[in-house]
Every structure is written in C-alpha cells, then in structure tokens.
C-alpha cells in the first residue's frame, strides 16, 4: 500500500494494537490481550478496537469458523512515513530542516551528534543508490 493510501491517523489505543500486530505478524484477539502489560484491557475492548481497525483499512482477517486471526494491511514503515510526513506538514511547514532544527534545539544536540546523524544519513543514502 502506498503512503498516500494510508487510511488515516490512529488513536493511541488503535496504535497500541497495531504495534502488537506489527510485532506479532498476525494473531487472535486473545493473543493481543496476552501481550498487553498490566492492567490488561478487557477482551471485548480489544475485539472492538480491532474491528474498528479493520473498518479503517489497517487490519485484515482470516476466519476459522467464528474465530478470526488478524493481520496488518498497513506496514509499520508505511504508517511511520505517513505519520512523520503529516507531522512535518502540520507542525514544521513541510520543512524537514525545521524538524531537525527543532529536535537539535530541544534535545540540546551538539555538533558531534549532528555530524554523526549526517554521516548516518549519507551512508543510508549511498546504500539505497546501489
């Protein structure tokens, strides 16, 4: 699925379920509930949220009688790109440079940190161009 086809942003509760599904690859509602930290949500709560995610186009399922095994239709990378592009667009006037500048100030990054980040980006860019 292309980034432009991401259905929309996730709520915090929906994102929590997606994080679990992305880690698991696929699973039943009971599997998702088991993976939550205490206090675990009710089975019905997770079941409702997973159906909402399915309606939104984030999750698909395979039926085994009355039981459904759920799996992500949107990859973690696809959603991450969508989320970051929206954040940059809405909070940084579409400028990646403004985003990096903001984090550099807020995280009090020094020149060495910024150079390391730049070197990492250069290496990744060179690997992608191979």
pLDDT tens, 19-70? Answer: 999 999 999 999 999 999 999 999 999 999 999 999 999 999 999 999 999 9
Average pLDDT over residues 97-126: 83
Q: How far apart are CA 59 and CA 70, in angstroms?
A: 7
Q: Quick one: pLDDT at residue 72?
A: 97
Q: Quick one: pLDDT at residue 32?
A: 97
Average pLDDT over residues 95-112: 82
Give percent above pLDDT 70 in the chain.
95
Task: Give the residue with greater pLDDT, 120 vs 71.
Answer: 71
Same domain? 63 vs 101: no
Q: Which residues contact 50 (CB under 8 A, 6 or more apart)?
A: 17, 29, 32, 59, 70
Answer yes or no: is 104 within a domain: yes
CATH number at residue 54: 1.10.10.10
pLDDT band at 116 (very low <50, low <70, confident <90, very high): confident
Answer yes or no: is 80 within a domain: no
Answer yes or no: is 84 within a domain: no
Same domain? 65 vs 14: yes
What rounded mean pLDDT belongs to the chain? 88
Q: Quick one: pLDDT at residue 100?
A: 80
Q: Judging by beta carbons within 10 Å of its beta carbon (0-12, 13-18, 19+), is residue 4 exposed, middle or buried?
A: exposed
């Amino acid at each position: 699925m292309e980034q432009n086809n991401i259905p929309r942003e996730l709520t915090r509760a929906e994102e929590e379920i997606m994080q679990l599904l992305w880690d698991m690859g696929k699973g039943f509602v009971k599997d998702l509930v088991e993976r939550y930290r205490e206090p675990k949500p009710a089975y019905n709560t997770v079941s409702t949220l997973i159906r909402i995610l399915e309606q939104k186009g984030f999750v698909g399922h395979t039926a085994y009688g009355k039981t459904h095994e759920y799996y992500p239709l949107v990859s973690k990378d696809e959603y991450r790109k969508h989320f970051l592009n929206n954040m940059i667009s809405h909070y940084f006037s579409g400028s990646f440079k403004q985003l990096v500048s903001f984090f550099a100030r807020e995280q009090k990054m020094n020149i060495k940190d910024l150079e390391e980040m730049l070197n990492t980006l250069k290496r990744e860019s060179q690997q992608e161009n191979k």
